Each structure stands twice: as structure tokens, then as C-alpha cells.
Amino acid sequence: MDLESLLPTLLGLAWLLPLASFAVILFAGPRLGNHGKGAAGVATAAIVGSFVLSLFAFISWVAQHPVHAVAHGDHGGAHAAADPTHGSGDHASASHATATGHEPGHDTGHGEAAHGEANHAGSPVHYSGDWYTLYEGGRLKLSIGWYVDALTVLMFVMITFIATCIHVYASGYMHDELHDITDHEVHLADGSHLHRPGRFHRFFQALSLFCFSMLGIVIAGNLAMVFIFWELVGICSWFLIGFYYERKSASNAANKAFIVNRIGDFGMLIGLMALWGALGTLHFADSTGPDGHARPGLFSLIRPPVAGHGQWVPDGMVKFAAAEKVGAVLRSHADDPRAAVEQVEAKVEDWRDEGYGRWLLLVAGLGIFCGCIGKSAQFPLFVWLPDAMEGPTPVSALVHSATMVAAGVYLVGRFYPVLTPDALLVIAYVGAITLFIAATIALVANDIKRVLAYSTVSQLGYMMLALGVGGWLAGLFHLVTHAFFKSLLFLCSGSVIHACHTNDMRKMGGLAKVMPWTSGTMLVGCLAIIGAGIPFLDIGLSGYYSKDSILAQALLFARENPSHSILFYAVAGGAMLTAFYMFRLWFMTFAGQPRDHHVHDHAHESPPVMVYPLVALSILAVVAGWTLPGGFGIANMIEQARPAGTGGIELGGLLFSAFTVPAEHASHAHDIHVTASLTAFATAAAGVLLAALMYVWGIIPPAMVASAVKPLYTFLANRWYFDEIYRFLFVLPVLGVSRLVSGTDKGIIDRFIEGLAWGAKQVAGFDAWLDRTLIDGLVNGTASATYSAGLELKKLQTGQLRQYVMFIALGTVAIFVLAGLLFRSSFAG
């Protein structure tokens, strides 16, 4: 069986299994097992099945497209017109550069200098197709389809693995929901606490639906499908955050998440409309139309193979943007439509050179990115993620660290060919701002989950920044490694919360002895996130490799564009802040003396069902970045999926003054690599040291630092007042408008309607009176008049014989007289 049909089948099944689990739990949830305990089994079985299938697909892929270090020289132009279905995976690693001491983990072969032109490799190996066409007509084709390349397979494996660990973890963590619960955070009207039945199965139902939606985004072959599952993921997140919906805080957090996401989706719709309106298609890859002609996809339109996959504005966009000129040409040739069309086609090239359509392409890219801002909690739409910690910890681990928030980064990575360099720079700045703000807030947060939430936001900023400065591989690599160690960190925090029954770190301390497994795995996670490793030996935890590549690319970008060096400093400074607050968290929780003996006494290690996932994830947090000899590694696998035409130098200058996006492989240049890794090490070490000074050895008391910079501390502790600003800027005006509208409706419209009704009633009353008096009166009057007439006429019948005779006689006389008067003739001939 060839990959082209095997992969869609495997991945499609893996995608649909959680949906089946959702359906089963939806209809039979409470009946599964004791109090619905079986729901966990069903969901876990489904996601394990998905993992197995994904693994199988992964193995098949690797068998057919061996992962090994790809020589950068092979990005050369020989494959400019490569057939899209054949990838560059068959290339042997022709020119492995001589060993520079770089151990597995780095691409070899830096022989080539940066390419001067935008002439890069042919399309990566990918398979695309449609399962089901919802609608096909004219320019529009809406379908459920797939786009499978190395990145897709890798993401599948990652998501299903993490989801499996979390399903197992949650089946232990959520055992409270198997019986009735008294929720102490909910106060009823009479002051008592809420007493409610448990909803264990609902949790797994939503979790299954979420997995289905997330995998749908990953496998999607066109933007419309992405959008559908984008929204679906949002809904699942809403439900999971608001799982304890009786708590006002939880339901508010869920609404906030959904609404803020929706704001981002508004921009995404604009981007979608720009793309479809100008290009007429939303598919990523090429497909065949109903008439047999090839329909180019977005990637081929914007980076056509004929030009070496260089990015240009496609004809459709040029014509869309130059609509006035097109109209003028058509009008001048109104008599001959064919000539008019030819004329337009001839002029397209000139118009493109004049720059028509570039802004449209930029807007399309930025529009799609708006959706990513919302979904990946970037500035300014990051306010929902910290509040999303109201949900149970497994939700935070799965949804808000590893998968859903990663969907935005994934989409940027998938959509990379379409993004113009200016859009990329905007993305980079947004990421930089985000990572800085979030890191600073995490410095002073006391809730363990809040720290991790802001850490997530900050790391997402890292990824966006990486993608923005041209580090496509770096950003996606960090996405994968971050998924592993962030979910690990969340699960460990869940374990701590489960033991201490509190989120507040100020009540924790000295838990390392009590919870060895948790503290050990959390230490691994913290080391991973700060990128701990030995620079010169290039050995480190997973975060080491990914963070290094980000730093390298940022440094390269800063060197190429000195005016944008702030980006590098942001990365470096962020690294230090990250190290500081992560170890602050660890030290406050596990090291030192217990701050609250009550909490400490009751703390206990989590049950094995919760520890096993921690161990599994920590193992992965360590090894995920390693590249085996021979080249097999996550980074190289992602590299297989590099979109055609990217990875080289791009020139920007539409939005900003002219700048250069450097080629990514140039970041592996020795000097840059060394500088970057040293910077990373130094900043991380400094951060850990500072945290130790403050929280372990107590040399610098935190309280003193806080009081020394009290305004700054307050500012950070209040999360930069973002919530308050938003409330003032957006929430209150909307509420005011809604109050106004509601008042109008009640006061004016309702009054008007009631007035109309009152008027109708009056008319009805009048009509009733008319009916009663006139019509009924008429009828009754007629009847009574007839009756009286009858009564009067009755008097004629006296029974008197003589009177009757009299009447006969008089009547006869009268008749004859009348006849004589009327007919005026004699009585007899």
C-alpha cells in the first residue's frame, strides 16, 4: 500500500476515533461503568488507538521518507520545477560538511553561502486530497480534506501521545466527580455551598471532542476546514474551562476565552475573504477540478513552481487590487470581450510590478494571523489564558499548554508560504511584546497555575518571534518541545494542587521530600523550559536545542537588520526572566522550609496513575530534542516539511523600511551558533542563580525587593492592568450600549407594541359593541318585530265566523276595485 492512500486512511481514522468516543459517551455516558467511570476508559482507549494509528503512520512515513540531516546545498535550484508529489526526501545527504564537533542535533553541511535569489527547493513531500466535497461550483470548493506532510504526522504523534498521558492522568485526577460534590467556591442565595452530582463522563466527552477538533486542524487541507475546527476547538475549550460552571469565576473565564478568541477570528475571516475573493480557492495544495483541470492551491499560487517558488503576488490578487484599471480596460474594449480579456492578461505583469496586490497579500496574511493572536494568546488578546486556569488541571495541561494554543503557531507555520516578510516582521514584534509582558507578570504571580499560564503565553511569544524572524524550523521545533515540557509542568502542578488542596505557592514549600516523583519530574520540566544544557558539547534537554535555534535565528536577524536588534534582546532578556520565574516556582514549591505546616502535613505523593504520565512526559522532555546518529530527530523531520520556497532570504519593505529576512540555515553558522548558545546559557544561569539567591538561600528577601520597587511590583502584580483597561475600553461601553438598547426596547418599542395592542383592544371593544348593538340588535329586532307582527296578526283570527265572511266580502270588493282601477277595462266584453 502506498503512502498516498495509507496515510489519509490511518490519520483519518486516528482523527475520527475521538469523535466516536465522544458520541459513545454522549449517548451512554452515565451508564458506562460505575457512575460513568467507564467513560474514562472509553476516551482513553480511543485516544490510545489514535496514538497507535499515528505511530503507525509515523513509522510508515519514516520508512518511506527517511529522516536524516538535510544538506542545505540541496535547497538549490535543480528542483525548481519539481513535481509536487515527489519530495526532496530522496536526496542523500550529499554534502555533509566535515564534523565541526557538532553532535547530533544540528544540520550539517553549511558549505553553501546564503542564496542570493529566492530560488529554493521544490515542494516538500506532501499528500493532499479530499474526503468529501460539501460544495463545488464555480470558483468555490468546500470540502473536508487532508494535507499530510512530515509536520502533520509529527503533530499527530505528539498530540495523541500527550493526550494519552493526560487522559490517564485525568482518570485519576477527576475521581472526585464520580460522586456528589459540595463545591465550596459556590455560594447559594441562602449562604450554603452548592451540592451537585458529579459529571465525570462529561469531562471525557468534552476531552474527546477536543482531541477530534485539534486533530482536525492539524490534518486540514484547506483554510475553510481549518476555520471550522478552529471554532470547534474554541467551543471545547469553552466547555472545559467552564467545567465547574456553577462558579462565577469559571463561567466568566470560559466566556472570556471564547469571546476573546472570537475577536481574533474576526480578523481571520477578513483574511479568509481576501484570499478567497482574490484567488478563488482556500486549499493549501493543488487539486483537480471537476472538469479535470488542475486547480492550483494557495501555495502554488503564491509561490509558483515556475519561479522557483519565490513569493509573488498572484494574478488574481493583482487584478483584485487593480480592479479599477481592469474595469477601464474592459470598458475600452467593450465591443470585443476576448480582446479585452487578453489585454487585461497582458497588463497584469505591469500592474504587478507597480505593486498592485502586495497590500492585499499582506492583509490576507495578517488577517489569518489575527486568528492566531486570539488562539495563541498573543498581545493584545492574551488576557483569556491566565483566567482559563479555572478549568481542571488536565485541561490546562492538554488544551492550554500543548495543543490548542499551539494551533495558532501551527497555522502560522503551515501558512508560512503565504506570509509576506512584512507580515512576518509584524508577527515577530507581536511575539516579542507578548513574551516580555507575560514573563514580567509571571515574576510576581503567586498562583502556581498562573505562573505556568503566563509562562505558556511567553513561550508562545517565543515561537511567534522565531517564526517571524525567519526561523520556521526553530519556531515549530520549539512548539513540539514546549508541548512536552509544558504539559509535564502542568501535570506536576496538578499533582501538587491535588496534594496541597491549594494553588497558592506562598503556602507551599519543602515538598520535595514528601513528593519525590512530582518534584523530580517538575525539576526536569523546569530545566527543559530554561534550555538547560552544555553549550560546547551540544548536549541538553529538549528545550536547549529549540531555544538555541530561536536565539540563533534572532541573532542572525538582528545582525542583518540592526534596526530590529530589539528582537534579539527581547529573546535574551526573556530567557533570563523565564529561568528566574520557573525556578522561583520550583524553589517556592519544593525547596526550603514549609511555609504552611498544615498544608505540608497533609501533602502526599500522587497515586501511580497520576505519576506514570509524569514520568513518561519527563522522559520525552529530555530526549525530544536529540538527533540520533544518522539524522533521525524531530528537527530533521520537521525540516522535511519545509514549505517550498521558504528557508531562504526574503526581502521585505512594504510596511517597514527595507529589511532582510535571513535564510534559516545560515543561523547554523558557527559564530552565530556559539554566540547564541553562550547567551542562552548565561542568561539561564543568571536567572537560576537569582532565583536561588532569593528563594533558597534567602540572601535577597523577596519582600525587600518588592518594597524597593513597589510601583513596579504593583504594576506587575496587577498584570499590567490589562483587564482593567479592556474593561474600561470595551466592556463598559458595550454594556452601556446594551443597556441603552434594552431600555429602548423596553421603553419605546415595547410601549409602542403595547400601545398598538391597546388600540387593537379598543377597536375590538368598539366592534363588539357594534356587533352587539347594531347587528345583534338588527337580527333580534327583526325577530321581535316579526313576533310582534305575528302577535298582532293573530288578533285577526278571532274565530268569529261572521268576521271571516266580512273579510271575504270586503276583500272581494277591494280586489275588484283595484283590478278595475289598474286595468282600466270593462268587466265584461
Give contact residues for other proteins (rule: CB under 8 A): 794-802, 805-806, 809-810, 812-813, 816-817, 820-821, 824-829
C-alpha cell of 23? 458520541
Q: What is the DSSP letter of 100?
A: -
CB distance 181 to 245 below 8 Å: no
**Residue 786 CB, nearest distance to other proteins (Å)?**
16
Complete DSSP assignment for 117-156:
SS----PPSEEEEEEEEEEEETTEEEEEEEEEEHHHHHHH
Q: Any idea what the Cα angle at residue 679 is, between residues 677 and 685, rounded to 5°?
A: 100
The secondary structure of residue 775, as a DSSP letter, is: I
Residue 57: exposure state from Cβ atoms within 10 A (0-12, 13-18, ≥19): buried
Strands 533-534, 294-295: parallel, antiparallel or unpaired by DSSP? unpaired
Any idea what DSSP says for residue 106? S
Compare residues 593 and 800 and give the one whose CB is closer to other proteins.
800
- Residue 641's identity, in one-letter code, is A
Q: At which residue does the C-alpha cell 497555575 appear?
A: 449
Q: Which is nearer to other proteins, 563 or 826 (CB)?
A: 826
CB nearer to other proteins: pick between 334 and 796:
796
DSSP 84: T
Measured from the CB of residue 789, what is the shortest distance to other proteins in angstroms?
13
How many Cβ atoms sit within 10 Å of the Cβ of residue 467? 30
Q: How far is the CB of 798 from other proteins (least distance, A)?
A: 6
Cβ 808 to other proteins shortest distance, Å: 8
| End-to-end Cα spacing for the chain | 126
Residue with cell 470548493: 141
Pure H helices in 220-314:
223-241, 248-279, 298-302
Residue 763 Cβ, how far from other proteins at the closest point, in Å? Answer: 47
Please state the closest distance from residue 819 (CB atom) to other proteins, in A. Answer: 10
Hey, is 447 helix, strand or coil? strand
Nearer to other proteins, 778 or 806 (CB): 806
Residue 280 DSSP one-character state: S
Task: Check: CB of residue 208 under 8 Å from CB of residue 14.
Answer: no
| Residue 790 CB, nearest approach to other proteins (Å) | 9
User: From the CB of 814, what's the least distance to other proteins, in Å?
Assistant: 9
Give the nearer residue to other proteins in terms of CB position, either 99 or 796.
Answer: 796
Q: Which is nearer to other proteins, 699 or 828 (CB)?
A: 828
Separation in Å, CA 814 to CA 256, 796, 807, 810? 103, 18, 10, 6
- Give residue 398's Cα distance to chain centre: 13
Residue nearer to other proteins on the CB measure, 34 or 825? 825
Cβ closer to other proteins: 184 or 824? 824
Q: How far apart are CA 36 and CA 202, in angstroms?
A: 9
Kindly tell me which of 689 and 806 has the beta carbon lying closer to other proteins: 806
Residue with smaller CB distance to other proteins, 353 or 792: 792
| Closest distance to other proteins from the beta carbon of 776 (Å) | 29
Type of residue numbered 482: H
Q: How far is the CB of 803 from other proteins (least distance, A)?
A: 8
Residue with Cβ nearer other proteins (99 or 793):
793
Residue 140, C-alpha cell as written in the block: 468555490
Q: CB within 8 A of 673, min separation 6: which ones?
A: 106, 548, 552, 667
In the numeric block, the cell 266580502 is attached to 809
Find the shortest distance in angstroms from Cβ 774 to other proteins.
Answer: 33
Least Cβ distance, residue 802 to other proteins (angstroms): 5
Nearer to other proteins, 100 or 798 (CB): 798
